[in-house]
Amino acid sequence: MSLTSHVMVAGGDDPSADWSRDEGRCELLGPQRTSTEAVRRSARLAKFHVPEVVFGPGSLTELGHCALRLGGRRPFLVTDAGLMEAGWVDEAVGHLRRAGLRPVVWCDVTPNPKDHEVQAGFERYAASGCDVIVGVGGGSVIDAAKGVAILSSNGGHILDYEGVDRVVQPIPPTVMVPSTSGTGADVSQFAVITDTTEHVKITIVSRTLVPEISVIDPRLLTTMPDWLNAATGLDALTHAIEAFVSRAHNPLTDNHALHAVELITANLVRTQVDPRDFGARLAMAQAALEAGMAFTNAILGATHAMSHQVGGLLDAPHGVVNGVLLPHVIRFNAEAWPERFVALGAAAGLPVSGVPAQEVAEQLADLVRALADDVGVPKGLASLGVAERDVPVLARTTLKDACMATNPRDVDVRDVETLFREAL
């Protein structure tokens, strides 16, 4: 199954059909346009799959009731040392116990979760007799929790599930509590795991991985270190932009993607300057949610496909790599489809009236780079440890990444090598 069919895009030969090229807007059919041809050209099926969402300050108090409603008796709580130290795990465990549940905590997850960590987590889960799986943390924690869930009902090794729809058996119910404002893992059908033998990241895509419930409490964002706040914010921006220009976008994903861009460009720097600015934190929590809902249904593109390879090679922060790569990919994709970037530019606050689409795309790329500068992201991949000698291997593995299937412009290995070199 192709990735575009996996996200239920149908009704036309080209995933980027005419109805979606009207400067990023969908022209709704009215009574005056009811011909079969008009319908065929202007509408496609779109599946929009998201969890139940509990959103707002203090929503962590609902965690016990959420797990209980899913049949939980002995939840398996996946987290990491940072969340333990910040006190959020103690609070989460308290809410689970007050609901009459007996949680087991597993906290041996590191950034960019590793295949052997997922295996260790599964073995602990299986030995503990747990049921519902709860993830409290950032994208690494949530991806690891999804990996444990996959193995618990499908067996094998986590690397067996790379690609689309390889997870055949239903997984245990999951409740995810994000502690960052960017990964979107708490609402997505993705899990990204590091293959520690090949030093690459694998992407697992399956509708079974969309959590049953996402509990989004912006209070958890206030304890992020600055570098993580910057990285996850840029990750969310990349989700929104890549989802909007994806071959598999649709009107449902478009609205969320554009609003996420608006919220992030207006609030990310505010959270960096004043971490206790709760209005900005609330906005970033919503932006991360909306960007996540957009990309899990529209999928992503070349930025993420490339970023996964750098992260697998160097264990580098995913959002930081995205922040370096995104301006280059915007310029590359805009050469083929500049009109689609006009609505994105407007959402980011750029003047677009009367401005050529190609120029808007260039200004958007500049804006993204300026935002990355403002939050302290390096200008090039070389400062993260990528060398010229790494480029050929990174380019070859990039083309195998599932995210590349929905990039709006066709890409070959030479294109990817050029993008990597430009980003060095």
pLDDT in tens, 386-410: 999 999 999 999 999 999 999 999 9
- Taking residues 116-133, report their average pLDDT: 98
The CATH number fitting domain 52-223, selected from 2.40.10.120, 3.40.605.10, 3.40.50.970, 3.40.50.1970: 3.40.50.1970
d(CA 2, CA 405) in angstroms, rounded, equals: 8
Look at residue 187 and tell me whether its pLDDT is greater than 90.
yes
Examine the pLDDT at 102 and tell me if it is beyond 60.
yes
Q: Quick one: pLDDT at residue 44?
A: 67
Is pLDDT above 70 for 38? Answer: no
As a whole number of angstroms, the distance between CA 92 and CA 298 comes to 32
Backbone angles phi, psi at 308, to 5 degrees: -60, -35
State the pairing for strand pair 133-137/190-195.
Answer: unpaired
Beta bridge partners of 204: 163, 191
Confidence check: pLDDT of 175 > 50:
yes
Please provide the average confidence, as pLDDT, over all residues in the chain: 91
pLDDT at 24 over 60: no
**Nearby residues of 67 by Cβ (< 8 Å), 6 or more positions away:** 75, 96, 99, 101, 132, 134, 175
pLDDT value at residue 47: 80
How far, in Å, CA of 71 to CA of 69, rounded?
Answer: 5
pLDDT at 25: 36
pLDDT at 163 over 80: yes
Q: Is the pLDDT of residue 325 over 70?
A: yes
Q: Decide: 115 and 157 in contact? Cβ < 8 Å.
A: yes
Q: For the segment 353-373, what is each residue's pLDDT rounded down to a tens digit? A: 999 999 999 999 999 999 999
Give the domain ranges of the chain: 52-223, 226-423
Task: Report whether CATH 1.20.1090.10 matches the domain 226-423.
Answer: yes
Residue pLDDT, tens place only, 125-160: 999 999 999 999 999 999 999 999 999 999 999 999
Please state whether beta strands 213-216 and 52-55 pair in parallel, antiparallel, or not at all (unpaired). Answer: parallel
In this prediction, residue 45 carries a pLDDT of: 76
| pLDDT of 15 above 70 | no
Percent of the chain whose predicted confidence (pLDDT) is above 70: 90
pLDDT class of 115 with cuts at 50, 70, 90: very high
pLDDT in tens, 42-99: 456 788 999 999 999 999 999 999 999 999 999 999 999 999 999 999 999 999 999 9
Query: Is residue 27 scored above 60 in pLDDT?
Result: no
Residue 18 confidence (pLDDT): 36
Q: What is the pLDDT of residue 214?
A: 98
Mean pLDDT of 236-262: 97
16 pLDDT above the threshold of 50:
no
**pLDDT band at residue 29, thresholds of 50, 70 and 90?**
very low
**pLDDT tens digits, 210-223:** 999 999 999 999 99
Residues in the chain: 424
159-196 burial: b if 16+ Cβ within 10 Å, else e: bebbbbbebeeebbbbbbbbbbbbbbbbbbbbbbbbee
- The Cα-based distances of 260 to 22, 79, 99, 268, 282 in angstroms read 20, 26, 34, 11, 12
Helix (H, G, I), strand (E, B) or coil at 401: coil
